[in-house]
Amino acid sequence: MKLLIVEDEIQLADALTEILRRNMYLVDTVYNGIDGLDNALTGVYDGIILDIMLPKMNGIDVLRNIRANRISTPVLLLTARSEVEDKIKGLDCGADDYLTKPFITGELLARVRAMTRRKGEIINDNRLEYNGLELNKNTCSIIYNGNDVKLSLKEYQIMELLISNPHMILTKERIIEKIWGYESDVEYNNIEVYISFLRKKIAVISAPAKIKTARGIGYSLE
């Protein structure tokens, strides 16, 4: 699950980043509205945490631009107590929720979970399931029929993408974009290695799900 934080208070931004990373989210963090908009327009995020008072472009304008470009990524607005007007404007412009500063970590995490909750295949916030194969966030493992095997962080992140989009071919570009980011020098054969680890682990617990290769394109969970 990949999140974008747009917040100009560097200490707060970095603290949020740290908390979310510890909770298994992939996080990109930027400190002004223009960078926030540039990142948001890539469409690779599962959720955006957007401050309202920002240098270069304020959060409301960032949000307007995101929606004008038909990017439907859920947005959680961060507002100061005094910004009631902005809060209303934000919700009118297509924000999904807002959180008033200061807030406690537990509430932030709950809002982020609510914002990124997917329909259908989710059992609860910490478990994803496809055809009896379960991906458990708390234990960082896959489970089938009572058998479980631990995953590395990257394996977990790739598995999360696959299990959230069953039968959909995920291109190698998309996997790199989501998990390592645009500017990484990860190569396609690194992905192939992680996929082969995942296949072995799925086989170890005798789950019937298979990661199929779409030759020259990417992978899908079937």
Residues that bind Ca ion (CB under 5 A): 8, 51, 53
The residue (of 19 and 209) whose beta carbon lies closer to Ca ion is 19
* Least gap, CB of 14 to Ca ion (angstroms): 14
The residue (of 53 and 114) whose beta carbon lies closer to Ca ion is 53
If you count them, how many residues does the chain have?
A: 222
* Least gap, CB of 5 to Ca ion (angstroms): 12
The residue (of 49 and 158) whose beta carbon lies closer to Ca ion is 49
Distance of alpha carbon 73 from the chain centroid: 10
Structure tokens at 37: 């908009």
The three-class DSSP label of residue 76 is: strand
> How far is CA 7 from each of CA 19, 21, 44, 52, 200, rounded to the nearest angstrom?
15, 16, 19, 8, 41
Residue 83's CB is within 10 A of a number of other CB atoms, namely 20
* Least gap, CB of 64 to Ca ion (angstroms): 17
The residue (of 8 and 148) whose beta carbon lies closer to Ca ion is 8
Closest CA to 19 of 115, 130, 113, 131: 113
Instruction: Report d(CA 119, CA 219) in Å as an integer.
Output: 22
- Edge-first strand order for the sheet with 47-51 is 26-30, 2-6, 47-51, 75-80, 97-101
Peptide bond into 102 cis (omega under 30): yes
The residue (of 47 and 59) whose beta carbon lies closer to Ca ion is 59
* Least gap, CB of 55 to Ca ion (angstroms): 8
* Least gap, CB of 28 to Ca ion (angstroms): 18
The residue (of 111 and 172) whose beta carbon lies closer to Ca ion is 111
Instruction: Report d(CA 17, CA 92) in Å as an integer.
Output: 27
* Least gap, CB of 51 to Ca ion (angstroms): 4
Closest residue to Ca ion, based on beta-carbon distance: 53
